[in-house]
Amino acid sequence: MNRQDAWNLLCEFNQSDSLRKHALAVECAMRAYARRFGQDEEMWGIVGLVHDVDYEQNPTIPEHTAVGAKIMRERGWPEEIVLAMLSHAPYSGVPRTNQMQKTLAAVDELTGLISAVALVRPSKNIADATIKSVKNKWKDKAFAAGVNRREIEQCAADLGVPVDEHIGVVLAAMQAYAAELGLDGIKP
């Protein structure tokens, strides 16, 4: 399976532009960490793209990820990718046993918080976001209230990366793809 296969699968099951952009954000964060850890950037990026493949049609527990795994297995996707996708949801029962799985869990929620921070900037441009601006919004529990900050902290610890450094890695990765993520301040 390659990136185009992953994109096609994502788009087949997700019509929502915001869900597609979330998948792209997770992809770029996964690729950044793959480079950092000396891992397979293509594989990690693919995992980022497909991690929520079934979310639009199955947003509830336990259907989310279980349905996606079924679809992917029926289509012959590698088990390593299926297990990584499953492992990002703690309720799936699939433990995070490798660096790729731990990284996926660590970047998933954080990309949502960083996107929200960028969108409330006057410029709506992620280039204007900083680690400090993310941390300021982090403290505001009402801001992006659905983002589980404790989960991000725990997942960053599982990776062995301090939270501020983790925010910096993901923020820089997303800034490099601002236009594709719709976070470049330019209105469509």
Residue 114: pLDDT over 90: yes
pLDDT by residue (tens digit) across 119-134?
999 999 999 999 999 9
Is pLDDT at 39 greater than 80 in this prediction? yes
> Which tens digit of pLDDT belongs to each residue from 49-86?
999 999 999 888 888 999 999 999 999 999 999 999 99
Predicted pLDDT of residue 188? 60
Name residue 125's beta-bridge partners.
Answer: 184
> Is pLDDT at 161 greater than 80 in this prediction?
yes
pLDDT (average), residues 1-12? 96
Domain range summary for the chain, segments of one domain joined by +? 3-175
Q: For 7-35, how does the pLDDT look when each residue is reduced to its tens digit (9 = 90+)?
A: 999 999 999 999 999 999 999 999 999 99
For 52, residues 6+ apart whose C-beta sits below 8 A from its C-beta are 14, 19, 22, 23, 26, 64, 68
* 65, 54 Cβ separation under 8 angstroms: yes
* Average pLDDT along the chain: 95
CATH number of 3-175: 1.10.3210
Residue 6 pLDDT more than 90?
yes
Is the pLDDT score of 187 beyond 80?
A: no
Band of pLDDT at residue 152, cut at 50, 70 and 90? very high
